Amino acid sequence: MAPRTGRPAPTGGPGPRPGPRPGRAKTGTSSSTQPATAPWRLQGQRGREPRPERRGHDARAAPRPYRRQGPLRVTCGPCSRRSYHAPPMRPPISWTLLILAVALLLRLDGLSHGLHLDDPMQVELGSQRDERAMAQAVLDGPLSGSADPGIFLHWGSGGFWTFGLLDLSVVGLAALVGSDDLTQTWRENPSGILLLHRLASAAAGLLTVLVLLRAAARERGSRTALCAAALLATCYLHVRESHVGSLDVLLTLWITLAWDQSLAWLAARRQDGTSQTAGRRHALRAGLALGLATATKTIGALGFGLPLLAWWLGRPRRGDQRRSHGANISLLGALLAGAGTLALLSPHLLWALDDVTQLLRENSARFAAGPGDLPAALSEHLTNSLGVGLGWVTMALAVVGAAALLAERDRRARCLLWLTLWPCLFLVAFRLTATRYALPLLPGLCLLAAVGIESLTVRLGSLRPRASGWALGALMMAAMALPLRRSLSFGRLLRAVDTRIDVAATLREAGAQRDDVLAFGLYGLPAMHPGARKAPWVSFLGMRARQGDAAREGVLAHPPRFMLHERSHHALDAKGWDLFAELVAQRYERVLRLDGRSDRATPALPDETTGNPSFFVPWARPWLMQRPGPALDLYRLRDD
C-alpha cells in the first residue's frame, strides 16, 4: 500500500510526488496566500499551522515551524533573522516576596539606634547631624504652619515636603485616636520623628529594589531580575544608608524610577503607532520622577539626561516624520512635567530665589571638581563606595555584564547599557568622596552584574548543561556573601549601646555639669550644629577655634573637673590632648575606659570615607567591633 501524499516511503525510496509547497500557488489557479518567493511567516496564528514539506528523503529532516499564540511576531525563513525579545515574564511571587522580605529585614535591623523615649541626650549623641537638622526643620516648618524650608535650602525642598506631609499625617492620626500633642512631644524628645524619617528612608530603599525588579524583568527576563534584586537587597552601602532619615536613598528611588520609565519609553517607541500613547505616559512618568529627584536634592537635575538620552537613542530613521514628531512631543512633555513638579515642590523660590541662587553658586565654587580632583575622587569611590559598598565580585560581574551587552547585536541591549551607565555622572559632578554619592549607581550596577551572571551561566551551560544551575548559585553566593556579612554585622552593632551613652550616664550620676567636662575629639563629642541641644561636655577644639592660644592657658589655670579623651583620632592629639599630658599625669585619674573594638584588630574610628561618620562603625569590616562608638577615656580631677 502506497504511503499517503506528502510523506516519504517507508523504505527510504522517493515515494509519490508531494503536493504544492505552502505559500506557492498551484499552476493555473489565482488563489495564492503569499508570493512564491516569500519566506514562511507566523503572526500570532491560532489553531493548526501548515507544516512545511520537502521532497524525497529530506522530508524527514524538515524543521517544524515555531508555534506561538499571541501577538508576538516570529519570523522564520531563508531571508529572516530571529532577533526578537521574548515577552516579559513576571518573576515567581515566592522568590519576589523572599527577596523583598530579606531587603526589609536588613533595613529595619537596628533602625532605632541611638533613640530613647526617656533620654533626649541619647538622641543627640546617637543620631546623624543631617537627620537631626532635617527633623528640626520639619518641626519648625509644616508642623508649625510655616512653609519656610530652612536648612533644606542646602539640598532641596522635596524632602522637606515629603517628611512634612508624612509627619502631618501621623500627627493627624494621633489626634483622631485621642493622643497627646505629638508635636510637643517630638520637640522635647525627637526620637519619634527621627524614627519616622528612618522608616521613610527604609521604605524608599525597599521600593527601589521593587522598581529594579520590575525594570529588569521587562528588559532581560525574570531570572536576571531576581538576581539583580537580590544583589541590591543585600548591598551593604544601600542597607547602611537606609538606616539614616535623610535624602540620599529617597533620591536614589526617584532616579531609579526615572531610569525605569525612560527604558519603557524607549521600548514603546520601537513598536507600532498603537503604543505611542503608552510611550507618552512613560515619558511623563520619567519627567515626574526627575522633578521629584531634583526637588529632593539639587544634584538630581543630572537625571534629566535619562529621557534626553532615551530620545536620542531611539531616534527614528530619516523620513519617518510621524515617529520623530511624536518623540519630540513626548520629550517636551517629560521636561515640562519635571519642571512643573520642581516648581510645585519649591514654592520658596518665590521669596528666596536670591538666597537659593547664592547658595548654589557657593556650593558650586566650593565643591566643583577640577581636572586634578576627578582621578582622586573616582579612585576613592571605586575603592570605598563601590569596592566595599557594593563588593569587588559584583563589580567584576558588572564589567562582564557590560561586555555581554556590547557583544549582543540587538540595539536594545546597547541602549540599556548606555542608560544604565548614565548615573555615573553623580560621581564626577563634585569632588566629594562621601560614599552616599554613589547610591544612584547601585541599581544599574546590580542589573549589569545580573546580566554578567546570566551570561556566564549560559556559556557554562552550553559546555555542561547540568552545571548551569550550580554555576548560577555559586556566582550569586560569591557576589552576596561579603555584602551580606557586612550588612548583618552592621545591624548587630547598631543594636548595642554606644560608648558615648555610657559616658553620659556616668557623668550624670556624678552630677557633672556641662562646663565641668572638657572633651578632646572630633566627631560625636561636641554639638554638631547650632540648632542641636548642647552636648554634656565642652569641646576643646571648638574652644580653641574661638579663643586661640588663650584656651590652653585658661585650662591650665582652671583645670576642669573631668577630661574626656577620644582615642580614635590620634592625629588630633597634637592639637589638644598632648598639650595637657603633664597636667593629666599629675592631677587626674582615669575612672572609665570604653572601647568597642575587638582584640583581634584596631580599626581606626571614625572612618573618614563615610562622609559623616556618626555611626562610629568601621566601614569595611564592621564585624571587628562589639559595640558602636569611639574609644573613650574619662579622667577625674584628684582632690588636692
Mean pLDDT of 2-31: 47
Out of 16-20, 374-378, 419-423, 450-454, least confident range: 16-20
What pLDDT is stored for residue 250 in this prediction? Answer: 95
Vertex 532: Cα angle to 531 and 536 (nearest 5): 145
What pLDDT is stored for residue 80 in this prediction? Answer: 34
Vertex 121: Cα angle to 116 and 123 (nearest 5): 50
Which contiguous run of DSSP H or E holds residue 42? Answer: strand 41-43
> Which residue has cell 541602549?
415
Helix (H, G, I), strand (E, B) or coil at 203: helix
Out of 138-152, 583-597, 599-613, least confident range: 599-613
Mean pLDDT of 610-627: 74
Residue 202 has pLDDT above 80, yes or no: yes
- Give the model's confidence band at 366: pLDDT under 50 very low, under 70 low, under 90 confident, else very high: low
- Give the model's confidence band at 91: pLDDT under 50 very low, under 70 low, under 90 confident, else very high: confident
- By percentage, how much of the chain surpasses pLDDT 70? 77
What pLDDT is stored for residue 23 in this prediction? Answer: 46
Distance CA 592, CA 493 (A): 21
Q: What's the gap between Cα 5 and its chain centre?
A: 64
Q: Residue 567 contacts by C-beta under 8 Å, 6 or more apart in sequence?
A: 595, 630, 631, 632, 633
Distance CA 440, CA 419 (A): 13
Quote the radius of gyration of the chain (alpha carbons, Å): 32
- Give the model's confidence band at 251: pLDDT under 50 very low, under 70 low, under 90 confident, else very high: very high
* Digit-coded pLDDT (tens) for 333-355: 999 999 999 989 888 777 777 77
Helix (H, G, I), strand (E, B) or coil at 226: helix
3-state secondary structure 370-417: CCCHHHHHHHHHHHHHHHHHHHHHHHHHHHHHHHHHHHCCCHHHHHHH
Residue 1 has pLDDT above 60, yes or no: no
- Give the model's confidence band at 298: pLDDT under 50 very low, under 70 low, under 90 confident, else very high: confident
- Give the model's confidence band at 227: pLDDT under 50 very low, under 70 low, under 90 confident, else very high: very high
* Digit-coded pLDDT (tens) for 32-80: 444 444 333 334 444 444 555 544 444 444 444 444 433 333 333 333 3
Helices (H) and strands (E) in the chain, counts: 23, 7
What pLDDT is stored for residue 133 in this prediction? Answer: 83
Distance CA 376, CA 502 (A): 39
Out of 183-197, 218-232, 528-542, 573-587, least confident range: 528-542
Distance CA 441, CA 422 (A): 9
* Digit-coded pLDDT (tens) for 134-152: 888 899 888 888 888 878 8
Vertex 239: Cα angle to 235 and 242 (nearest 5): 145
Residues in a beta bridge with 95: none
Distance CA 440, CA 290 (A): 13
Residue 580 has pLDDT above 50, yes or no: yes
Q: Is there a cis peptide before residue 606, judged by omega within 30 degrees of 0?
A: yes
> Which residue has cell 513626548?
330
Give the count of beta carbons closer than 10 Å to the beta carbon of residue 489.
18
What pLDDT is stored for residue 62 in this prediction? Answer: 47
- Give the model's confidence band at 232: pLDDT under 50 very low, under 70 low, under 90 confident, else very high: very high
Give the count of beta carbons closer than 10 Å to the beta carbon of residue 221.
18
* Digit-coded pLDDT (tens) for 466-495: 788 888 999 999 999 999 999 999 999 989
What pLDDT is stored for residue 328 in this prediction? Answer: 86
Would you give the DSSP letter of residue 538?
A: E
What pLDDT is stored for residue 265 in this prediction? Answer: 92
How far, in Å, are 216, 228, 229, 327, 328 from residue 213 at the CA level? 5, 7, 5, 27, 29
Answer positive or negative: Cα dihedral of 343, 348, 349, 355: negative
Mean pLDDT of 566-587: 85
What pLDDT is stored for residue 370 in this prediction? Answer: 67
Q: Residue 383 contacts by C-beta under 8 Å, 6 or more apart in sequence?
A: none
- The residue type of 334 is A
Would you give the DSSP letter of residue 430?
A: B
